[in-house]
Amino acid sequence: MPKLIRLYITQVAWGFVISAVFVGALLALNVANLRHLITGSEIGLIALVMIWFMNGIVFAGVQFAYKIMSMAEKPQGPRRGTPLVHSFEPAAVKQEVRAGR
């Protein structure tokens, strides 16, 4: 199996694990009375699976994107271009005043 496919599968699995923890926290804290809505309904199990699955899709995408972006090469050596100013000092400016206006 190619490394990228293996990476994708593992990150998607982690995303769904994170989703399960998130949904568990939602139910444990009873956010928006969600626990009562799920346990008091006939189709509460379907709602629970849908919440887990939809959050799993989001968390899996975020997890994979984070992993891919963290694999980028770090820039080496000094930056090119104009160096950054480390401190600002006020500059003296002369102003001429004209009389007669």
State the total domains in the chain: 1
Residue at 49 is within a domain: yes
Q: Helix 3-29 crosses helix 44-70 at what angle (to 10 degrees)?
A: 130
Range of the domain at 66: 12-70
Q: What is the pLDDT of residue 60?
A: 98
pLDDT in tens, the chain (101 residues): 899 999 999 999 999 999 999 999 999 999 999 999 999 999 999 999 999 999 999 999 999 999 999 998 877 766 666 666 677 788 889 888 888 76
Residue 27 lies in a domain: yes
Establish if 47 belongs to a structural domain: yes
In a domain, 100, yes or no: no
